[in-house]
Chain A
Amino acid sequence: SAVISQKPSRDICQRGTSLTIQCQVDSQVTMMFWYRQQPGQSLTLIATANQGSEATYESGFVIDKFPISRPNLTFSTLTVSNMSPEDSSIYLCSVVVAGDYNEQFFGPGTRLTVL
């Protein structure tokens, strides 16, 4: 298993600003992902965070809006840029731990409200 922490746990931001969310894992992981959960909705995959290279984005998500970094095996950041109220969501990182084949563990999420 893995213990995942996210910072901040929640934030209230003004439109037009940007917020960077951090995801830290206590063990080396093979893969890291970022998901979005809009209010009352299910989870949607934003991108795969690739170590040392550009993230792989899903359809409908672009790097300019959601830049992602992953400098090492245990840490990643997601930035929500030029925010609008439509970006109000819970953002979750998830990881696949080396050896736990295809089992994903999710962080506690970051609840973002954009005014």
Chain B
Amino acid sequence: AQSVTQPDIHITVSEGASLELRCNYSYGATPYLFWYVQSPGQGLQLLLKYFSGDTLVQGIKGFEAEFKRSQSSFNLRKPSVHWSDAAEYFCAASNPGDYKLSFGAGTTVTVRA
């Protein structure tokens, strides 16, 4: 069965420190991959997406993600976290050409001063 796994339920990071959120997928073929952020009381915002090509993807708000086929991973990174990055982060995937998204369980990021 197709699935998206986010192994970390909750991560706490100090402001200014780097952040990495893990995402693994299980799909028959390489899926399209996405990272979304959900701030408290807000809707989902797309941070970045990967369809094909360059495996390092740049997104908004200083985020980037790296696709690693050998590890079936699509980890999200940010070099220096700001307090406003505290939110819930969701990794999602879809089959190429299919718009239906499967979401991981989400990772809650807490930023401490």
Answer yes or no: are A and B bound together in one complex.
Answer: yes
- The answer, among A41, A43, A105, for a CB contact under 8 Å with B46, is A105
A103 to B34, CA, bound (A): 9
Cβ of B71 within 8 Å of any chain A Cβ, yes or no, is: no
Alpha-carbon gap, A4 to B102, bound state (A): 21
Report the count of interface residues on B (CB-CB < 8 A).
22
Task: Evaluate contact between A92 and B105: CB separation under 8 angstroms.
Answer: no
On whether the beta carbons of A109 and B99 are closer than 8 Å, the reply is: no
Taking a contact as CB atoms under 8 Å apart, the answer to whether A102 and B100 are in contact is: no
Those of B26-83 within 8 Å (CB) of chain A: 32, 34, 36, 42-46, 49, 51
A47 (CB) vs chain B CBs: closest residue:
B100
For B46, B99, B100, B106, the residue with the greatest tally of chain A CB atoms inside 10 Å of its CB is: B99
Chain A residues packing against B (C-beta within 8 Å): 4, 31, 33, 41-45, 48, 58, 92, 94, 96, 102-109
Instruction: Find chain A residues with CB under 8 A from B32 CB.
Output: 102
Chain B hits for A44, CB < 8 A: 103
Instruction: Give the distance in Å from the alpha carbon of A45 to the alpha carbon of B94 in the complex.
Output: 12
Given contacts A48-B100, A102-B99, whether A107 and B46 have CB atoms under 8 Å apart is: no
User: How far apart are the CA atoms of A92 and B101 in the complex, in Å?
Assistant: 13
CB neighbours (8 Å) of A105 from chain B are 46
Report the minimal beta-carbon distance from B12 to chain A, rounded to whole angstroms: 18
Q: Are the C-beta atoms of B99 and A108 separated by less than 8 Å? A: no
- Kindly list the 10 A-B residue pairs having the minimum CB-CB distance in the complex, ordered from nearest: A106-B44, A108-B43, A42-B103, A43-B103, A42-B105, A106-B43, A96-B99, A42-B106, A31-B99, A102-B32
Q: Tell me whether B103 and A102 are in contact (CB under 8 A).
A: no
